[in-house]
Amino acid sequence: MIELIVLDVDGTLTDGKIIYTSNGDELKHFDVKDGLAIATWTKMFGKKAAIITGRNSTLVERRAKELGITHLYQGVHNKDEVLENILKEENLTWEQTAIIGDDLNDLKMSKKAGMSFAPNDASSYLKDVVNIVCKANGGDGAVREMVEYICKYDGIEEDFVKVWQ
């Protein structure tokens, strides 16, 4: 049974575009359907979620708080090492972990996870090693698709659907 979902940000939780305003502010596009699935996972099911990303952004901090994501690591070069520490802290195994990422820096984690996913528009190198390539693109429901797949696989789909009724 999956107990921890691990999320990349740019190209997974977002469409991968980074927009800067003339004032130097950064803008990111998050999908609300992804958000509802993550919030259900963390707040309603009491399961764990982690964001491990190579970039730093205050917007990501805000989004993580909104969604009840307990582990947030930004500016990470070696995602695999960070995830290993999270697993030790949470007393979880790689088999209890599902990962979604979109590029080369997600390869090592994806090869070790119990389940691994990639958005449809991910790097072909990553798509070749993950268990499931989502139909949706990054920032356009791929994370939601991942959570729904896990709920079906783990036999908790009915609970997932009933949570908000």
Helices (H) and strands (E) in the chain, counts: 7, 8
pLDDT tens digit sequence for 48-86:
999 999 999 999 999 999 999 999 999 999 999 999 999
pLDDT tens digit sequence for 90-120: 999 999 999 999 999 999 999 999 999 999 9
**Rounded distance, CA 135 to CA 104, Å?**
19
Question: Would you give the DSSP letter of residue 42?
Answer: I
CA atoms within 13 A on the CB side of 15: 9
CA distances, 135 to each of 10, 25, 80, 158 (Å): 17, 31, 25, 22
Q: What is the pLDDT of residues 8-55, one digit of tens each?
A: 999 999 999 989 999 989 999 999 999 999 999 999 999 999 999 999
The answer to whether the pTM exceeds 0.85 is yes
Return mean pLDDT, the chain.
96
**Cβ distance 21 to 163 under 8 Å?**
no
Identify the structural domains of the chain with CATH numbers, from first to last: 4-162 (3.40.50.1000)
Let me know: does 107 contact 126? Beta carbons within 8 Å. Answer: yes
